[in-house]
Amino acid sequence: MSSEAGMTTYPRQVLEQVARTREAVAQLHAELPRWGLVVWTAGNVSQRVLVDPASGPGVDDLFVIKPSGVTYDELTPESMVVCDLDGALVDGDRAPSSDTAAHAYVYRHMPTVGGVVHTHSTYATAWAARAEPIPCVLTMMADEFGGDVPVGPFALIGDDSIGRGIVETLRGSRSPAVLMRNHGPFTIGRDARAAVKAAVMVEEVARTVHVARQLGPTAPIAPADIDSLYARYQHVYGQAPTEDRS
Ligand SMILES: [Zn+2]
């Protein structure tokens, strides 16, 4: 059972929203094994705590993330941990995920990001091992990523270098996914659900483009057509209550 001792100074409204965010993040973790994106305890999902979603992300400087070293079957809302934007534990019985510093760095430097996901999904990670961007050769890539899926720098775990690499790469890109070199994909979204969707989609396009490559060279899409597909998809689907494409 989780102690709220670390949060006694927070107003009730914040505590209620923390509870809701724990619930949402715990449920979304189930999507990672469901889509075949993780093995053992690898991978993690986080989401900012939004007390007033209308005022946008970042109002409370807290986020909820997976605890370190817990299997997917054991994840519950209570086992999730709450951290501040420096990655320090605020509430929870376990140590936060070893990727917490990277998530915290992204939230500190990208105020509109409300969710972050990291996996070592096979095909996306294979492109990361090659340090090769996934070329935008599918209309679904233009829709979702607005271009190639970029590669971020090589970075060792343990300081801000992974977070810095994610932010530096994604700031100049329309893509919500970055392939961290020799490591794997990190994805972002306005909330954790959008970031999970990006993690599923990046694995799907990594696999499809890989298969296409086995058949021969792929055909590029003209940059103007990529722009047009991206604008239409983000406008038409981005405003809808559900962003699932038909
Ligand atoms: Zn990793």
In the reported structure, the alpha carbon of residue 224 is separated from the centroid of ligand 1 by a whole-number distance in angstroms of 34
Strand partners, 83: 63, 89
Torsion sign (Cα): 94, 97, 103, 108 = positive
Q: Residue 12 — pLDDT band, cuts 50, 70, 90?
A: confident
Q: Residue 243 — pLDDT band, cuts 50, 70, 90?
A: very low
For position 7, what pLDDT does the model report? 84
Contacts of 208 (CB under 8 A, 6+ apart): 138
For position 3, what pLDDT does the model report? 47
For position 238, what pLDDT does the model report? 58
Domain boundaries, the chain: 3-231
pTM assigned to the model:
0.92
In the reported structure, the alpha carbon of residue 164 is separated from the centroid of ligand 1 by a whole-number distance in angstroms of 15
Q: Residue 109: exposed, middle, or buried by beta-carbon count in 10 A (0-12, 13-18, 19+)?
A: middle
Q: Dump pLDDT digits (tens) for 56-77.
A: 555 579 999 999 999 999 999 9
Mean pLDDT estimate for the chain: 91
Average pLDDT over residues 146-160: 94
User: Quick one: tokens of 138?
Assistant: 């599918």
Q: Dump pLDDT digits (tens) for 183-196.
A: 999 999 999 999 99
Match 């070293």 to its residue by tokens.
69
pLDDT above 80 for 150: yes
In the reported structure, the alpha carbon of residue 216 is separated from the centroid of ligand 1 by a whole-number distance in angstroms of 31
Q: d(Cα 71, Cα 123) in Å, to the nearest integer?
A: 22
CATH number of the structural domain 3-231: 3.40.225.10
Average pLDDT over residues 106-111: 96
In the reported structure, the alpha carbon of residue 42 is separated from the centroid of ligand 1 by a whole-number distance in angstroms of 7
In the reported structure, the alpha carbon of residue 58 is separated from the centroid of ligand 1 by a whole-number distance in angstroms of 25
